[in-house]
Amino acid sequence: MAKLDEKIDGMYQEVLKRNPGETEFHQAVLEVLESLGPVVVKNPQYLERKIIERICEPERQIIFRVPWQDDKGKVQINRGFRVEFNSSLGPYKGGLRFHPSVYLGIIKFLGFEQCFKNSLTGLPIGGGKGGSDFDPKGKTDDEVMRFCQSFMTELYRHIGEHTDVPAGDIGVGGREIGYMFGQYKRITNRYEPGVLTGKGLTWGGSLVRTEATGYGATFFVNEMLKARKDSFDGKICTVSGSGNVAIYTIEKITQLGGKCVACSDSNGVIYDEKGLDLALIKQLKEVERRRIEDYTKTHKHAKYIAKGNIWDIPCQVAMPSATQNEINGKDAATLVKNGCIAVGEGANMPTTPEGVKVFLDAKIAYGPGKAANAGGVATSALEMQQNAGRDSWTFEFTEKKLEDIMVNIHNNCFETAEEYGAPGNYVLGANICGFIKIANAMVAHGLV
């Protein structure tokens, strides 16, 4: 672990004290603060104006009760969150996560990361995140609908096109966004597409939004490889997860000439030496909402490894696209030992601090989530642009914009890392580059 500058260490101790027990939030803050020593030396006004302390404190945190009835008529209670972290660059923007592990610390880590990620996109969006400890797994469509309606019955008063614009994350996709949009429209009596992103294509959604996080992460890795005079061509790749991010990562890797041999879900790993059959994965996960294990029902040659560890499978490119802290120090060491040369994070904070250190020490191409997976939220911002202009763009046009944004993020992180004397360190590049833009806007806005 890099040593924190003395003044910054004081700020970190304060974060620990003010936010007890929120370990993921502590981890996300520490990772950014470790990069900021040289920035405050160059810009002492950030210290005078307490920019770092202010960035670590969300502007607003909303916690609410979400009561709903299951199909048996039984009353269920969940907890809802929306953390509006930073609005210096635009309205709060970030997804909603529905997962039983959700508590304030998870939403705060995601909201904190989102601020820097959104800043890196170069688009006018601030940072926020929300969600619930509701578990959509095993629930019927009707139950999900009733939950979403109850969730929005509180959330609607806090959001808006110019205030806060939620979207999807783990457990929240097109179906959930649809139910929430319907309830928002009903309560407010206003058809306001700009209030949520990730909408359906016939009612204000953007082409490429579904694909954007996975495509964007793959474009980012492609740029890291290009910077090393390499490419995806013929590379063996593994992609953890099998949700939206994983599926479109596999699709883009394949289009760029790579071969994905493994993916996973929380129960186990699929290993298909011939290359994953993406059409089947889409059918299982997107249409039928089944477990990945069923892949082997039709593809007998493939292996299902119950409770397996996907990082034990040798690969040249690894793209963690499941959830936080899914690669620990040991996994990272295994990947490097097995010849992995690039890691691109489709998930948010999927690598533990020990794992990050292994990748940085090995000097492999390591693209941290807040840079590599920014394509999802960037395309949400493109959706907002289309909504504001009552327009809808073609797939090709929108995908090209996404690719340009990812190339730009890559180059900015790459150049910032060089400027600060750490060539090839995209962690440092992303943290500094994302921070400076927010910090300058905060200085300009005065003490608010």
Does 376 sit near ligand GLU (CB under 6 A)? yes
Q: How far is the CB of 377 from ligand GLU (least distance, A)?
A: 4
What is the three-state SS of 166-225?
Answer: EECECCECHHHHHHHHHHHHHHHCCCCHHHCCCCCHHHCCCCCHHHHHHHHHHHHHHHHH
Question: Which residue among 34, 169, 265, 345 contacts ligand GLU (CB under 6 A)?
Answer: 169
Strand positions, DSSP E, 353-426:
365-367
Cβ proximity to ligand GLU: between 380 and 398 the closer is 380
94 binds ligand GLU (CB under 6 A): yes
Q: Identify the bridge partners of residue 305 per DSSP, sorted by sequence position.
A: 269
- Tokens 């071969």 found at: 259
Q: Segment contacting ligand GLU (CB under 6 A): 375-383, 409-417, 423-431, 438-446?
A: 375-383
177 lines the binding site for ligand GLU (CB under 6 A): no
Of 86, 88, 380, 425, which one interacts with ligand GLU (CB under 6 A)? 380
Task: State the nearest-atom distance from the C-beta of 117 to ligand GLU, in Å.
Answer: 6
- 11, 33 contact by CB (below 8 A): yes
Angle between helices 23-33 and 6-18 (to 10 degrees): 170
Within its chain, how far is the Cα of 339 from the centroid? 26
By beta-carbon proximity to ligand GLU, the closer residue of 88 and 334 is 88
- Does residue 93 have an active-site annotation? no
Contacts of 169 (CB under 8 A, 6+ apart): 94, 95, 96, 97, 110, 129, 131
Bridge partners of residue 239, in order along the sequence: 319
* Cβ-based nearer residue to ligand GLU, 334 or 398: 398
Question: Least separation, in Å, of the C-beta of 380 and ligand GLU?
Answer: 3
Q: Select 83 or 358, whichever has its Cβ closest to ligand GLU.
A: 83
* Residue 95 found at the interface with ligand GLU (CB under 6 A): yes
Residue 243 or 258 with smaller CB distance to ligand GLU: 243
Does residue 178 bind ligand GLU (CB under 6 A)? no
Residues 6+ apart with CB under 8 A from 190: none
Q: Which stretch binds ligand GLU (CB under 6 A): 2-10, 31-39, 233-241, 376-384?
A: 376-384
Task: Specify the residue, 94 or 434, whose C-beta has the smaller distance to ligand GLU.
Answer: 94
Please report whether residue 197 would count as binding ligand GLU according to CB under 6 A. Answer: yes
Binding mask 13-52 for ligand GLU (x = CB under 6 A): ----------------------------------------
Site mask for ligand GLU (CB under 6 A), range 126-165, x = bound? ----------------------------------------
Distances in whole angstroms, Cα of residue 295 to Cα of each of 242, 265, 290: 11, 12, 10
DSSP 270-325: EE-TT---HHHHHIIIIIS---GGGHHHH-TTSEEEET--GGGS--SEEE--S-TT
Question: Could you say whether residue 99 binds ligand GLU (CB under 6 A)?
Answer: no
Between helices 426-445 and 23-33, what is the axis angle to 10°? 90
SS3 call for 62 = strand
Using rule CB under 6 A, residue 316 touches ligand GLU: no
CA–CA gap between residue 28 and residue 352 (Å, rounded): 10
Position 199 contacts ligand GLU (CB under 6 A): no
Interaction pattern, residues 319-348, with ligand GLU; x per rule: CB under 6 A: -----------------------------x
Q: How far apart are CA 333 and CA 393, in angstroms?
A: 44
93 binds ligand GLU (CB under 6 A): yes
Instruction: Say whether residue 115 binds ligand GLU (CB under 6 A).
Output: no
Q: Is 167 in the site for ligand GLU (CB under 6 A)?
A: yes
Query: Going by C-beta distance under 8 Å and a sequence separation of 6 or more, which residues neighbour residue 404?
Result: none
Residue 39: how many other CB atoms lie within 10 Å: 21
Which one of the listed residues 129, 235, 285, 370 is annotated catalytic? Answer: 129
Which residue type, as a one-letter code, is found at position 28?
Answer: A
Please give the residue ranges that form the binding site for ligand GLU (CB under 6 A). Answer: 93-95, 117, 167, 169, 197, 348, 376-377, 380
Q: Which residues are designated catalytic?
A: 129
